[in-house]
């Protein structure tokens, strides 16, 4: 499992292999899958992870290719970790608010 992320973290998709419409979307990380792991697909079917990736949920729509078949993605997708940017720490909204400057 990743040391950079944990389930429940928010991340920004900064790149993808097959779904460029996902770039710029904010997602919540559900669980990490290693290549060959099984996971539940969009239609509750059993799918196999083709590489190490996070199962994420968010405002995702469109399709992806899994083993040569087009699959709908109603809000979930597998995204490789290197294609995610964490949204915490300096990126969290609480940290970006301006602070009062003493006069």
Average pLDDT over the chain, rounded to an integer: 78
Radius of gyration of the chain (CA): 16
pLDDT in tens, 41-81: 767 778 888 889 999 999 886 655 556 666 555 688 889 99
Q: Is residue 103 part of a domain?
A: no
The total of structural domains in the chain comes to 1
Q: How confident is the model at residue 94 (pLDDT cuts 50, 70, 90)?
A: very low
> Backbone dihedral region of 24: left (phi > 0), alpha (psi from -120 to 50 degrees) or beta?
left
Does residue 75 sit within a domain? yes
Residue 48 falls inside a structural domain: yes
């Amino acid at each position: 499992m990743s040391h950079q992320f944990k389930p429940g973290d928010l991340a920004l998709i900064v790149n993808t292999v097959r779904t460029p419409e996902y770039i710029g979307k904010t997602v919540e990380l559900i669980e990490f899958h290693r290549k060959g792991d099984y996971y539940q697909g969009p239609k509750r079917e059993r799918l196999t992870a083709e590489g190490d990736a996070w199962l994420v949920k968010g405002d995702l729509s469109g399709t992806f290719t899994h083993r040569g078949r087009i699959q709908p993605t109603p809000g979930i997708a597998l995204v490789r970790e290197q294609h995610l940017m964490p949204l915490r720490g300096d990126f969290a909204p609480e940290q970006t608010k301006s602070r009062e400057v003493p006069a």
